[in-house]
Amino acid sequence: MYSDKVMDHFQNPRNVGEIEDASGVGTVGNAKCGDIMRIYLDIDENQVIRDCKFKTFGCGAAVATSSMATELVKGKNIQEALQVTNKAVMEALDGLPPVKVHCSLLAEEAIHAALWDYAEKHGIKIEGLSKPKSDIHEGEEEEEEEY
Ligand code: FES
C-alpha cells in the first residue's frame, strides 16, 4: 500500500522536534481524522529557512509527509518554500494511496501556516501566501500519538 520512501520516512522520520524561539510556527489539523501537525521554521535574515522541525500527532502518512516536507523546505528561501505543495511532497515520496492524499495537504498547510506566522511576526507580506484554513492556535488541539 505504501512506497518504500513513505515507509522509510514513517519509520525514521527526519527533523522531529521543536525549535525554540522559532521564526514561525504553524499548527494545522484535519477535523475528519483528528490528526494534527505542527511545523517550526528557523528563518535567517536573508529569508532562507535555516532549520525546520515538526511534531505530528496522527497517522503514518501524516508523519511521512511532515518528515519529507521539512526535508524539502530546508535551505530554501520563503518563495521557494511556497512551491513545496502537497503534490511536490507526494511526488518526493513516490506517491500516496488516494485515501491518504489529505495527509500531504496537511503538510502543505502546516508550512503555509508557519510562513504566515513568520510574516505576521515580522510585519511583512509574502507574495502568493494566504491565511491557512485549518490553522489551530495554542490550547485547541487534542494530542494522540506523538512522533
Ligand atoms: Fe488524516 Fe492522515 S489520516 S492526516
* pLDDT over 60 at 101, yes or no: yes
52 is catalytic: no
Question: Cβ(56) to ligand 1 under 6 A?
Answer: no
According to DSSP H, which parts of the chain are helical?
Answer: 4-11, 60-73, 78-82, 86-92, 101-122
pLDDT of residue 117: 96
The dihedral over CA atoms of 62, 66, 68, 69, expressed in degrees to the nearest 10, equals: 130
59 is catalytic: no
Architecture of the domain made up of 4-122: Alpha-Beta Complex (3.90)
| CA pair distance 72, 80, nearest whole angstrom | 10
Average pLDDT rounded to a whole number, residues 11-39: 96
For 124-143, write each residue's pLDDT tens digit: 999 999 888 777 776 555 55
Q: Distance, CA 59 to ligand 1 centroid (Å)?
A: 5
* Contacting residues for 39 by C-beta, under 8 A, at least 6 apart: 25, 26, 52, 53, 54, 66, 69, 70, 107, 110, 111, 113, 114
* pLDDT over 60 at 28, yes or no: yes
Q: Distance, CA 142 to ligand 1 centroid (Å)?
A: 14
In the chain, domain spans: 4-122
* Contacting residues for 123 by C-beta, under 8 A, at least 6 apart: none
**Contact 84/76 with Cβ under 8 angstroms?**
yes
**Contact 82/126 with Cβ under 8 angstroms?**
yes
Q: What is the ipTM of this complex?
A: 0.97
Taking phi over 0 as left and psi of -120 to 50 as alpha, with beta for the rest, 128 belongs to: left
Q: Choose the catalytic residue: 5, 14, 16, 33.
A: 33
